[in-house]
Amino acid sequence: MTQFNETDLTAAVVRSFDDTPDPRVKFLMTELVKSLHDFVRRTDLTFEEWAYAIDFLTRTGHKCTPTRQEFILLSDVLGVSMLVDAVNHREREGATQTTVLGPFYVGEHKPMSHGTDISAGIDGERMFVQSRVTDLVGKPLANVPVDVWHADDDGFYDSQKPSYDKNGPSLRGRFITDADGRFFFRTILPCSYPIPTDGPVGEMILQTARHPMRPAHVHFLVNAPGYEPLITHVFIDGDKYLDTDVVFGVKDDLVSKVEKRTDPVMPDGKPASAPWHLMTYDFRMKPGSGAAPQPMMPAKENA
């Protein structure tokens, strides 16, 4: 009879997966059990510590709502999201670097005209974003949908606000590249902001004396047929949190020197009522395939 002791227990659990029909599931479960059991042995985990871990995960699940995904946040701050991203994008071959999707992608399916102000009615310093989508040798890619989203001047995404259910999306949109692969829009200058700290993930951040801050950035999801979907951010050069992003998402190639301008008109020829900022960034797509991620939270019907 098998002795389910510290030495033999792991092997017994691994054997329990012998008849798993899907080889990938069998492999993943085997490696998960071996790693988890090894963690327990290496740390001499106590009953109290394991009970706390179970309670922590339970509370993480309870914190999830249709407009908040605490498990994604947990994955992000532990570096797991970026690690999964890294092992799935080892060979970029000159393509734009990827980074985490984040927990606030809700989808946006109504294309907007180039030059649309996605920040209409929201306070903040004005910014003009101009961009181009090309292949690896600079050939423009036309008719490519590009989803964009970012936080407001107070560091909140639209889906974090009580008014979201009433007012729908803001500071997010979808633009379709023109024949030269270009798209442009108006918005406000994003700022650095803290991740939500009123849940279990925030509790962990505070207990470990980490700061909760993300550097200022704009999210982009570029989904060109015949190319790998690109999920990335463009960060603002000079932000003091670039080197200590709480979700480890910054890469040098994704930092943009955003210029402060006083020109009376913006690049689309329309007047500027005050000093404004110019973000310019081009995206290089890697040939391939794949599905763009589905929203973790539902988009509004009028999105």
**Shortest CA distance to 196 belongs to which of 76, 95, 79, 99?**
76
Q: Low-confidence residues of the chain, pLDDT below 70?
A: 1-2, 107-109, 162-168, 294-303
Give the contacts of 46 (CB within 8 A, at least 6 positions apart). none
> Which two tokens mark 2?
């098998």
Asked about 157 being catalytic, the answer comes back as yes
Closest CA relative to residue 128, chosen from 176, 217, 189, 178? 189
Q: Which residue of the set 105, 132, 157, 186 is catalytic? A: 157
Q: Which of 126, 150, 174, 217 is catalytic?
A: 217
* Cβ-contact 285, 95 below 8 angstroms: yes
Catalytic residue among 150, 186, 219, 277: 219
Distant-in-sequence, close-in-space partners of 139: CB < 8 Å, separation ≥ 6? none
Residue 32 in tokens: 């998960």
The highest-level CATH class for domain 94-284 is mainly beta
Q: Active site includes 164?
A: no
Residues listed for the chain: 303
pLDDT tens digits for 225-276?
Answer: 999 999 999 999 999 999 999 999 999 999 999 999 999 999 999 999 899 9
User: Which sign, positive or negative, has the C-alpha torsion 257, 250, 111, 169?
Assistant: negative
pLDDT tens sequence across 198-224: 999 999 999 999 999 999 999 999 999
Has 219 been annotated as catalytic? yes
Find the catalytic residue in 105, 193, 227, 281: 193
pTM, two decimal places: 0.89
